[in-house]
Chains A and B, each alone.
Chain A
Amino acid sequence: MEHLSLASPAGIVLSLDAVLILLLALACLGSKLFDRYLTYYGLQSMLLAVAAGTAAYVEREPALWVLAGLTLVLKGVAIPEAARRLLVRRLQLKRDVVTIVGPSTSLILGAILAGFAYLVIGPQHLAQGLISASIIPISTAVILIGALAMVLRRHMVAQLLGWLIMENGVFLGGITLTASFPFIVEAGIFFDVVACFLIMLAMTTGLAESLVALSDRGRREPT
């Protein structure tokens, strides 16, 4: 994968895919409805599964097919669906109002961060004509946008989604660039992510049930 050319069919698919993933991250940042966050995240994870599938096809690596399948089923369907049923519907969440800035400002900040990712990575310094020059800056931008969503949003569910987007950004870089990454490690990371999601889910529910304001903004530090 490291030597995959940008102009090959697989390279074109991957680049397109990565751009769509970036756009979905931005869409998430610009939206205010919880239901939509989850839809965007699910779509983004499916695109990630496509990227993993492409990598598996190019590398002819059966383990990567497994990873693509897991991504599709767990991240694309199970996690968004679980979050929708257990959080959004049960807690009757509709609009995310506890944000520091509005959606349009968030989008501008996100765009600036995407530009910043290109500035930091400097694709012009990377080997020209290879897939890495297009993927590394995009996955960095997705990580930064996810982090931005976590910082700007005070609602726990929104923070959770921000983290999941960050994780997708890391996986995009991980799967496509380092397809030779040992499978045991990939799988371990994957299950850590799932476990972390489950813990966050349990805590969100626990906190909501103890009738605390879901925002931690008004929380004062005990001295």
Chain B
Amino acid sequence: MKPLIEIRNLEVRKNGTQICAVAQLDVQPGERMAVIGPNGSGKTTLLRVMGSLEQQYTGQCRLQVAKRQCVYVHQAPYLLRGSVLFNATYGLAAHQISRHQRQEAAHRWLARLGIDHLAHRPCHGLSGGEKRRLALVRALAIGPQLLLLDEPFADLDPDGIQTVCEALEEACSTTIVVASPAPLPDRLGARLFSLG
């Protein structure tokens, strides 16, 4: 099977300093992979290259997925002005999903991540953990082929981590790459790729 992500001799430099280097990495469709490593080892940069948000690199990074089917969730997610529901449906609206369907999908994922009761609240009052869950809802609601999550378990309590793990398990057809400074919960069943 052709890998969904194929990386060869990738190197990213900023101001002459190497900030990320990967000799070879293949990620198969449907696979869960965790990129682990200490701070500054280039985990975020690697995810940004995979998400086509980082263009300045040498080597190869081939994606067998359309750009619109690849979603990157920031380490500190940015929530747009408006309600929780507006944010949850933003990606669905961008994918031309009908109003009724996107409301239904958004509410389903909001309930799955345990924040459906916040649907009509403005985003600026949310806690760090709620913001992170909402960013995940926004990404999962689209049903992307490739999901790139930068430290998705930061700011989450043990219950929150379990809820997020369960939600990620539900997205079984999605290839998920997670960047994390420490090994991830076992139940995620992710292959480890170590940087640095």
Instruction: Tell me whether A and B are bound partners.
Output: no
